[in-house]
Amino acid sequence: MAFMEISIVPIGTGGTSLSGYVAETLKILKISGLEFELHDMGTTVTGEPADLFRVANEMHNATFSMGVMRIYTVIKIDDRRDKTVSSLGHKTHSALEKIKN
């Protein structure tokens, strides 16, 4: 299991709001069945690497299908093979626990 952080930024839309584009890409994630969490600067998704790359491609292309002519997509993958990834939020929780002392 791996984590992917993805941020898709349509360029040249004529406005500053991107929530409509974000909503369309979230529909793809919802259909995919992958676990995801939206945050203010992107979306974190967990799954097998092949599934993450597939859904990233679908999200990227869906934005083009909305009439956008240029898209800037940033993808980060954390694929750890020495330990089973438990769930979204686990790494955040672990770090926050360490600063309580």
Q: How confident is the model at residue 85 (pLDDT cuts 50, 70, 90)?
A: low
In tens, the pLDDT along 30-80 reads 999 999 999 999 999 999 999 999 999 999 999 999 999 999 999 999 998
DSSP letters, the chain, are -EEEEEEEEEES-SSS--HHHHHHHHHHHHHHT-EEEEETTEEEEEE-HHHHHHHHHHHHHHHHTTT-SEEEEEEEEE--SSS----TTHHHHHHHHHT--
**Domains parsed from the chain with CATH numbers:** 2-98 (3.30.70.930)
Q: What is the pLDDT of residue 89?
A: 80
The whole model's pTM is what? 0.86
